[in-house]
Amino acid sequence: MSDRTLTATLVQHADQGGVDANLQYIEQQVRAAAANGTRLVLLQELHNGAYFCQTEDTEAFDLAEAIPGPSTDRLGRLAAETGCVIVASLFERRAAGLYHNTAVVLDADGRLAGKYRKMHIPDDPGFYEKFYFTPGDLGFTPVDTAVGRLGVLVCWDQWYPEAARLMALAGAELLLYPTAIGWDPHDDAAEKDRQLDAWTTVQRGHAVANGLPVLACNRVGHEASPRPGDAGIDFWGHSFIAGPQGEFLARAGHEPELLSADIDLARSESVRRIWPFLRDRRIDGYAGITRRFLDD
């Protein structure tokens, strides 16, 4: 470990039943992590409540809040109290009829250092996010903090190499993904294994391709669907912290867990020296990346 070692912690948990209960739980966990030396905390996606996108319900927009607003105020106080940088995930109300899935970064002094609006929005049975979240309009811009430049992305973004690469090109030193992903209880065990492994692998691949640590914090617990007959979602946990060769530094299971690892930020440069991928990118040949499909 170099003198650029950063202790980071993920708070993987089940919904506690309400905003105040979830924030109380988070406060308790962050204080415990800080007491053990953590300086960077990553929370799971939409940690203030249940995952409300299992159905399309206009009343769910009442859950959205302003940024800055009550949650950033409360999390900012927690950041200042503990001296941790906190990456949180909120349902943002920007205007009537205009909502985003937004990650916020509270710096170690409690200041709102920046935010990222989820760029890639999924829509699958049980994950009706296109109904709720306007696609982000802030691009792929990292946030500078006391612990370094953070490439904060959100959940569905984690399947997109473009998002990770753009954050790396903008100088991100870590990639962080608040997440809410789980199994359809109807799928068989082999399919569940493939999905969890694919989710882990593609993100570890971003670590490798960019020579950067990757942190992914996912929720756990079964959440029933409000739609009769739907099976609900088993959120699969398995949050992890990987180093710049994609190696696991820490990995959670399928239960609530406070997951910590020491990340040596100096390793990214040594890894990029033996694997200088950024040197050899064929930027003269990449224009097609901005096309939908190359069929004409």
Active site amino acids: 45, 118, 155
Beta strands in the chain (DSSP E): 5-12, 40-43, 85-95, 98-106, 112-117, 143-145, 148-152, 174-179, 182-183, 214-218, 220-223, 233-236, 240-242, 248-251, 257-264
Among 66, 98, 224, 278, binds a second copy (CB under 8 A): 278
Residue placing its CB nearer to a second copy in the complex, 19 or 202: 202
Residue placing its CB nearer to a second copy in the complex, 28 or 270: 270
Burial 18-32 (b: 16+ CB within 10 A, else e): ebeebbebbbebbee
Among 51, 91, 128, 140, binds a second copy (CB under 8 A): 140
Angle between helices 189-210 and 161-169 (to 10 degrees): 20
The answer to whether residue 294 forms part of the interface with a second copy (CB under 8 A) is yes
The answer to whether residue 295 forms part of the interface with a second copy (CB under 8 A) is yes
What strand order describes the sheet that includes 174-179?
143-145, 148-152, 174-179, 214-218, 240-242, 248-251
**Which residues is 43 bridged to in the sheet?**
11
Question: Rule CB under 8 A: which of 240-269 touch a second copy?
Answer: 245-247
Least CB distance to a second copy at residue 11 (A): 26
Least CB distance to a second copy at residue 194 (A): 5
Least CB distance to a second copy at residue 120 (A): 5
Could you give the CA distance from residue 45 to residue 122 in angstroms, rounded to a whole number?
Answer: 14
Among 117, 204, 219, 238, binds a second copy (CB under 8 A): 204
The answer to whether residue 198 forms part of the interface with a second copy (CB under 8 A) is yes
Residue placing its CB nearer to a second copy in the complex, 59 or 284: 284
Residue placing its CB nearer to a second copy in the complex, 27 or 264: 264
The answer to whether residue 288 forms part of the interface with a second copy (CB under 8 A) is yes
CA-wise closest residue to 131 among 52, 66, 67: 52
The answer to whether residue 122 forms part of the interface with a second copy (CB under 8 A) is yes
Residue placing its CB nearer to a second copy in the complex, 110 or 136: 136
The answer to whether residue 186 forms part of the interface with a second copy (CB under 8 A) is no
Could you give the CA distance from residue 115 to residue 122 in angstroms, rounded to a whole number?
Answer: 20
Could you give the CA distance from residue 82 to residue 103 in angstroms, rounded to a whole number?
Answer: 20
Least CB distance to a second copy at residue 36 (A): 25
The answer to whether residue 170 forms part of the interface with a second copy (CB under 8 A) is yes
What strand order describes the sheet that includes 220-223?
182-183, 233-236, 220-223
Among 169, 192, 225, 231, binds a second copy (CB under 8 A): 169
The answer to whether residue 292 forms part of the interface with a second copy (CB under 8 A) is yes
